[in-house]
Amino acid sequence: MKRILIAACAMAILLSGAAMAAEDTVAGKCMTCHKEKSPGLYNQWYKSEHAKHNVTCLNCHQAADGDADGFMHEGALIATLVTPKDCGKCHEKEAQQVNDSYHAHAGEILDSIDAYLAHAAGGTPVAIAGCESCHGSKVKIDPNSPNKLDSMSWPNSGIGRINPDGSKGACTACHTRHAFSVKQARQPEACSKCHLGPDHPQKEIFEASKHGNAYYTHKDEMNLDSDRWVVGVDYYEAPTCATCHMSATPKQAVTHDVGQRISWTLRPPISVTKEDWETKRANMKDVCVNCHGASFVDGHYAQFDGVVNLYNEKFAKPGLALYKKAKELKLGEGTANFSNKYEWIWWEIWHHEGRRARHGAAMMGPDYTWWHGIYEVSQHFYFKYIPELRKFHNAELDKMIDEVLADPYHNWLNRPTADIKADIKSGKMAEMYNGMYQVNTK
C-alpha cells in the first residue's frame, strides 16, 4: 500500500511538473514574441515587480473555459481584458477593497444625468471617449473582433469599468500597465487623468495649495519607490493624493477603499455627510496629525465645514427648491432636460462652481474656494439664475423667489453699502454664520 501511495505521489508530481513546464513554455513564447513585436510593453513588464516575482503574461491573461472574452491565441486560451477579479487571485484584499469603494461604482454614471447630457447635447462619441474614459465603460463582447472586445467599449481603463466577468473597476486606472508601478500610483499625476477640470479640479487645487508646493519642491525626497511608505516615518516633506486617501499611517494600514477617510459627499447639489462620517473623519485626521498639530487640524475642519454649510444653506437648498418648482410648473419652452437656459445655469452653479468651492475648502485651495467657487456661485445665483426664472412671470415661482431673497442671507442686495460695511466691521455679519462651523447632518 505504501508503495502504491509513493507511486501515486510521484506520478502527481510528474504530471504537475509537466503541466508547469508546458505553461512555462507558453509563457516563454508570449515573452519572446512580445519582446519583438511590442518592445515597450515587454520592457515595462521586464522591469516590473511582476517580472521579479516570475509573474508572466499568462498568469494575468490566461482565460478559463467559458469566459465570454476568452479566445485562442498562439495555442493558449487568453483574454485581453484583465479585471479586478483576475488581479484578486493574488491581491485578494486589495481587490475586495476596490470592490467596496466609490471608485468601483463610478461606471454607474452611465445611467445618470451626467451621461445623458453628454449623449444628448454632445453625442455618443464624446460620451465614449470622454465620460466613459474616466468613469468606465460597460465592456461588451464582439465575436467578430480579433480580441472579442467591442471597439466602442474597449480600450477602456475607467475606474468603474463594468467587466464581462461581473467585476467592477480597472486596476490599471491607477497602476498603469504593464509596469504596475507603486511609485507611479503614489504620485498625484496618477489621479489627475480624471480628477481635474471645471467640475472637480482636485489636481489644480493640489498644485495651488501648500501641500502641492511642498510636494513638487521635495519630490526627490519622498521615497516614492520604497516598499513600505508610512507618512511621518518614511517620508514627511509633503503628502500626495495617495497619502491622504489610501496610504499607511503609523496607526492605519494601506486601503484601496478611497472613501474610508472622506466625511462629506461633495458631489451632489447639496452636500451630505457620509455614513459613519465621524469614523471617516477621524481616519483622515489621523493622517493629518503626522505633519500638523491637532488644533491645526481641528481648525481646518471647522473652516471646511463652514464653507460646505454656507454653500448648502445660502445657495444650494434654495436654488434646488426653485429649480424643482420650475420643473414642476413645466416652465420653459423645451420639454427635454437641459432644453431651457435656467437648467444650464443651475447645473453650472452646483456641478461646477459649487463643487470647486467645496473641494477648494477641503484641500486648502483658497483661490478655488472663493474666486473659482463661491464668487461665481453668488454672481450667477443673483444675476443669472434668479433673473432667468423671473422671465417666466409665474406668480407662484415669483412668490417663492421673493421669500428666498427676503432671507437674511440674501437681503444685503437692498441695503445701503455703508450699513453692510458697518456690520462687517462690527462682527455682526459674521455672527449670522457662526452656526455653520460644525457639521449639520440634517
What's the angle, vertex CA 205, arms to CA 203 and CA 210, rounded to 5? 115
Please tell me the distance from the alpha carbon of residue 55 to that of residue 146, in angstroms, as a whole number.
Answer: 25
With contact defined as beta carbons under 8 Å apart, do 282 and 298 qualify?
no
pLDDT of residue 20: 47
Q: Residue 265 to residues 102, 305, 309, 322, 358: CA-CA distances in angstroms?
A: 11, 12, 12, 22, 10
Residues contacting 42, CB < 8 A, separation 6+: 31, 34, 35
Please tell me the distance from the alpha carbon of residue 278 to that of residue 275, in angstroms, as a whole number.
Answer: 9
pLDDT of residue 109: 79
Given a cut of 70, the residues of the chain with pLDDT beneath it are 1-24, 26-27, 113, 442
Tens-place pLDDT, residues 163-173: 999 999 999 99
How many Cα atoms are found within 13 Å in the side-chain-facing hemisphere of 398?
6
pLDDT of residue 115: 83
Sign of CA dihedral 373, 374, 375, 379: positive
Tens-place pLDDT, residues 219-259: 999 999 999 999 999 999 999 999 999 999 999 999 999 99
pTM over 0.85: yes
Q: What residues does each domain of the chain span?
A: 294-436
